[in-house]
Amino acid sequence: MVLAKSGIGQSQEQRTGQHLAALETQARARIAAAEARPETAVSSRLHTARQYRDATSARHAEALKTYRAAQEQLAAVPEPHRSLADRLLGRQPPKPGVVMLERAVAIARDDLIAAEHAVMGGEANLARVEKAESAERVARMGEMETQRRAGMAALAEIIAAQRMTQAYPRFVYCGPAFVAWAGAKVERKRKGPRNPWAVNQWGIPLDFG
């Protein structure tokens, strides 16, 4: 029992099989990790950009409302009465209330222009953040796809090594590491256009079907 646990009492077939099985488990775990899709949660950066855009939009709406109200108040002021002397001399009657309203309209217009600039800045900032988030997402997906392909290639090499041991049982006596290396070597050669009846330097067919 002690020898079996330590690996000394294991046969060459068992050692090779366990080694290939461990490599296969690692490759399948790598593929599963690469194929797992992350949760589509909104990042704090994107959330902050959207909040800023919404705040500037609300400020612009309030500034527009204030500006329109000031214009309505100015338009509602009745025209002052001009006497005959005022008409003959071309004098304008005093308008203290109108001056205050005109000043209020000018202030509201300046606030509206500043709010419009803030809205454009918020929209531009949100567009930049969304573009950066999209680029990062594409980069992550590309990296995951690269890892998945690498895992698939490693799994194909392990399966090729397992088929080699099934086709030639005595091949396991070359050692687990050599069997795994040979499987990788054969699988890499199979990727190119080659003769399906070709054999390697040990006489083993390159295609195990």
Percentage of the chain exceeding pLDDT 70: 74
- Rounded distance, CA 122 to CA 89, Å? 53
Q: Tell me: pLDDT of 173 over 80.
A: yes
Percentage of the chain exceeding pLDDT 90: 24
Amino acid at 165: T
- Rounded distance, CA 181 to CA 160, Å? 10
Using N-to-C axis directions, what is the helix angle for 176-190 and 12-35, rounded to 10°? 50
Give the pLDDT confidence of 130-163 residue by residue, as tens digits. 999 989 888 888 888 888 888 888 888 888 888 8
Q: Is 53 exposed, middle or buried (0-12, 13-18, 19+ CB in 10 A)?
A: buried
pTM score? 0.57
- Rounded distance, CA 27 to CA 25, Å? 5
- Given the candidates 3.90.1690, 1.10.10, 1.10.287, 3.40.50, the CATH classification of the domain at 10-190 is 1.10.287
Question: Where do the structural domains in the chain lie, given as residue ranges?
Answer: 10-190
Give the pLDDT confidence of 62-83 residue by residue, as tens digits. 999 999 999 888 887 766 665 6
